[in-house]
Amino acid sequence: MRDSLRRLAARASEEGLLDVAYTSADSPFGPLLLAATPRGLVRVGLPNQEPEQLLEELARRVSPRVLEAPAALDEARRELDLYFEGRLRDFELPLDWRLSDGFRLRVQEAIAAIPYGETRTYMEMAEAAGNERAVRAAGTACGRNPLPLVVPCHRVLRSGGGLGGYGGGLEMKRGLLALEGTLDR
């Protein structure tokens, strides 16, 4: 049965019927859910997020043609593995931004440009997205980041130096900042 399902995913991909491919991937913080469209990585689910809910959301917002297809996410998994080992600073895989738009998308694009090993404040992100007074909205945009880790919202902190929030939990945020050598710096 496993072979049959693998063959099905491969044929679906060949025939352009694999709208959303997903797999789970190990990380030091627990299992991640990775999902991609033919355009690129579309969703990263953190260990504390329910995979079923994320997949239902993808079915609703992208396409119900959602299939488990690990091969389609080999590159994403490879880059994330290297990142967690501290051997990759910049992700190169293509991203599909379709789950965001407007101000949120601008904030998230600004987050994507924060270099490895650096941090920014929510206010700086609001400013970068074109509205320095929309600090709260910038915080929401960080929280709604569909591509955490790859779009490094863990690098956004409070102006006073506080950690702020994180979709994957503060312990994970602290762990990621420690990995990048920016914790309590």
Partner 1 sequence: MSSLPPFQTLLDAHAGEVMALLRGAVGREGAEDCFQDTFLAALRAYPELEDGRNLRGWLVTIAHRKAVDHHRSRGRRPVPVAEVAEAAVPGPEPGEGVWESVGTLPPKQRAAVTLRYACDLPHAEIAAALGCSPEAARRSLHEGIKRLRRELA
The catalytic residues are: 153
Question: Amino acid letter at 74?
Answer: D
d(CA 125, CA 136): 10
Q: What are phi and psi of 144, to 5 degrees?
A: -95, 15
Q: Is 4 in the site for partner 1 (CB under 8 A)?
A: yes
> Contacts with partner 1: how many residues (CB under 8 A)?
22
Q: Is 15 in the site for partner 1 (CB under 8 A)?
A: yes
Restricted to residues 61-80, the positions that interact with partner 1 (CB under 8 A) are 63-68
Question: Amino acid letter at 126?
Answer: A
Longest Cα pair distance anywhere in the chain, in angstroms?
55
| Binds partner 1 by CB under 8 A, chosen from 26, 30, 48, 56 | 56
The side-by-side arrangement of strands in the sheet containing 20-25 is 40-45, 32-37, 20-25, 66-68
| Binds partner 1 by CB under 8 A, chosen from 12, 123, 163, 179 | 12
Q: Is 59 in the site for partner 1 (CB under 8 A)?
A: yes
Q: Rule CB under 8 A: which residues touch partner 1?
A: 1, 4-5, 7-8, 11-12, 15, 17, 20, 22, 55-56, 58-60, 63-68
